[in-house]
Structure 1
Amino acid sequence: MEYNSYRALGFTTLQNGLIAYYSQLGLSDIQLILIIQLEAFNQRGEHFPSNEKIAANTNLTTNDVANLIQQMIDQGLLSIEQTTDSKGRIGNRYNLNPLYEKLDNYLDEHILIKNNQNNQTIEVTDSLENNPINMLARQFEVEFGRYLSPIERQELSAWLTVDHYSPEIIKMALREAVLSQVYSLKYVDRILLNWQRHNLKTVYEVKQFLQRNR
């Protein structure tokens, strides 16, 4: 059967942002499978598929599906709404808006590059790679409101590969720079060197140091 013959089955649309960053939202791989199924049913007009129908499309049992749905409700990523049709019949539907609101917030904080002067979005970074260097670079660009230069990216890479700072420690140093309203890698580097001189190696140690010196 040719590819075009399969088009009669239709397509399911899923945000690339969700595919790239679902783990950053605290979702597991199996929860993403559930979301794909819910979207597939929803986009075909079936807004409250049974656990049996969902399980039939996966390797999950109906109990697995029920547990995953409850997990997502508890995480504030999914809700069940009551609906009323034109004939007054009451029903239910799954609502994934809480998930997409959380995704929107994540993208706004970590992916959108904004002008520090007026908070207007300059551009949306188009990379969907999640390696530590790219993720850190995006975060610096978001906070600085501009793209990093090639030399700045090399320095960022050196922090990870030569100095062996953890991404979490670098993010904390970035936060301290932003709080001081100094948008410079040199300033962040001075913060990191200061913490290194104090032999601070973990997030906990840095937090304790900062609390003592506020």
Structure 2
Amino acid sequence: MHYNDFRKLGFTTLSNGLIAYYPQLKISDAELILIIQLEAFAQRGENFPTNEQIAANTNLSTGEVASITQQLIDQNYLSIDQLTDKQGRIGNFYNLDALYQRLDDFLSTNVMIKSHQDQTEKVSDSLDNNPLNTLARQFEIEFGRYLSPIEREEISAWLNVDHYNPEIIKLALREAVLSQAYSLKYVDRILLNWQRHNLKTVAQVQKFLQRNR
């Protein structure tokens, strides 16, 4: 059997925002594992898996699954709601809507770029004032994966060796994402190009981009 054979088992879609920022939402690793399992079951059409089913897919015991489920309910991240099927039968289902609403609220307040008419407002992460960590988180959510230590070192060099403005690095990241180029090498080429044009402020970069759209 090869990887492509196992692909037939399917895939589970999970928000990159949740992967990158669950610690800021005070969600533990074990709670994230449970959320992933609930998503996996739901996306296969099983909306109320038993504790035994979940435990069989994890290193958790059924008791731990029950305890963690209750923790998520107590934190208002998870609820058990009822639905009626086409035959009129009433059943339960796990509802994660509250979790994703909290995630949306966090991202819109701390992370995401907000546009107001022709102006762009950058919202910094108020929970972490370290520019390296803030930038690393931004890259992780856009790339949909964790950065390697070497990649973090490269971002650190942009800040401490090249002395790029963190906001300009974020603009370069946005340009890379718009081009669907999810690599630091591409971002570095953008930064070098702006440096060659002697663009040192966010306003200068934005004016340059508007001229070259």
- Give the equivalent residue in structure 2 for 1:87: 87
Secondary structure at the aligned position of 2:92 is classed as: strand
Q: 1:95-133 CA deviation, whole Å, 9 max, x = no partner?
A: 111111111011101111224x569866899xxxx8932
Rg larger for: 1
Query: Residue 153 of structure 1: CA displacement?
Result: 3.9
Partner AA of 1:6 in structure 2? F
For 1:133, the equivalent position in structure 2 comes to: 131
Task: List 4+ stretches of structure 1 deviating above 6 A.
Answer: 119-125
Q: Which residue of 2 aligns with 1:45?
A: 45
Instruction: Tell me which residue corresponds to 2:8.
Output: 8
Give the Cα separation in 1 of the matches to 2:134 and 2:71: 30
Q: Note the alpha carbon deviations across 1:2-54, whole angstroms, 9 max, x for none.
A: 22111111111111111110000000000000011000000000000000100
CA shift in 2, pair 1:62/1:68, >3 Å = same
| Cα drift, residue 134 of structure 1 | 3.6
AA aligned opposite 2:20: A
> 1:152: how far off?
4.2
Total equivalences in the alignment: 141
Equivalent AA in structure 2 for residue 72 of structure 1:
L
Distance 1:121 1:5, change over 3 A: farther
Please give the alpha-carbon distance, in whole angstroms, between the structure 2 residues aligned to 1:43 and 1:25: 23
Shift of 1:137: 6.0
Report the counterpart of residue 114 of structure 1 in structure 2.
Answer: 114
Give yes or no for contact 1:112–1:121 (8 Å, CA) kept in 2. Answer: no
Cα distance change, pair 87–18 in 1 and its aligned pair in 2 (3 A): same
SS of structure 2 residue aligned to 1:99: helix
Alignment of 1:88-107 (within 5 A): 88-107=88-107
- Aligned letter for 1:62? T
Q: Verify the 8 A CA contact 2:109 2:123 in the aligned structure 1.
A: no
CA–CA distance in structure 2, aligned partners of residues 10 and 68 of structure 1: 26
**Contact 1:111/1:138 (8 A) holds in 2:** no
Structural mapping, 1:64-83, within 5 Å: 64-83=64-83
Change (3 A) 1:61 1:104: same
Contact between 1:82 and 1:92, CA under 8 Å: does it hold in 2?
Answer: yes
| Equivalent pair of 1:48/1:93 in contact (CA under 8 Å) | yes
1:148-193 deviation digits (Å, cap 9, x = unpaired): 9x55449xxxxxxxxxxxxxxxxxxxxxxxxxxxxxxxxxxxxxxx
TM-score, normalised with respect to structure 1: 0.58
Provide the identity percentage.
57
- Please provide the CA RMSD for this pair: 3.3
Alignment gaps of 5+ in structure 2: 138-158, 168-213
Does the 8 Å CA contact 2:110/2:123 hold for their aligned counterparts?
no
Which whole-Å CA distance do the structure 1 matches of 2:61 and 2:88 have between them? 33
Distance 1:131 1:12, change over 3 A: farther
Q: Which runs of 5+ in 1 are unaligned?
A: 140-147, 155-214
Counterparts of 2:28 and 2:84, CA distance in 1: 33
